[in-house]
Amino acid sequence: MQEKSSLEQLKEALNKNKAIIGSGRTIKYLKAKELKIIIISENCPDNLRKDIEHYSKLSGTKLEKFNGTSIQLGVFCGKPFPIATVAVMK
């Protein structure tokens, strides 16, 4: 059986309220090692990207780049605002 893509897992998590939206909450849950996947937009600010990359390496959490801007990631998540980071909980 083929493993689901990160975006498919994100859609499922959004439907089940298992998604974390926003960089502050993402980093909080990342430090607690409660995340499975983190998705960051192409235009995520560098300082934020570096923090998330650092903590994802420490926790062993999968990090993926969204092929689009934070506005497009917001639309994908069904939100009327830009989203720089979104994560799927374990």
Q: For the segment 43-85, what is each residue's pLDDT rounded down to a tens digit?
A: 999 999 999 999 999 999 999 999 999 999 999 999 999 999 9
Give residue 32's pLDDT.
Answer: 93
Give residue 3's pLDDT.
Answer: 62
d(CA 46, CA 77): 22
The H or E element spanning position 76 is: helix 70-76
CA geometry: angle 50, 67, 76, nearest 5 deg: 105
Residues facing residue 35 across a β-bridge? 89
Enclosing domain of residue 50: 6-89
Q: Is it the case that residue 2 has pLDDT exceeding 80?
A: no
d(CA 61, CA 79): 24
46: CATH: 3.30.1330.30
Please compute the mean of the pLDDT values over residues 14-42 and round it to a whole number: 93
How many structural domains are present in the chain? 1
Q: Is 89 helix (H, G, I), strand (E, B) or coil?
A: strand
Q: Is it the case that residue 5 has pLDDT exceeding 90?
A: no
Residue 1 lies in a domain: no
Tokens standing for 17? Answer: 């309220």
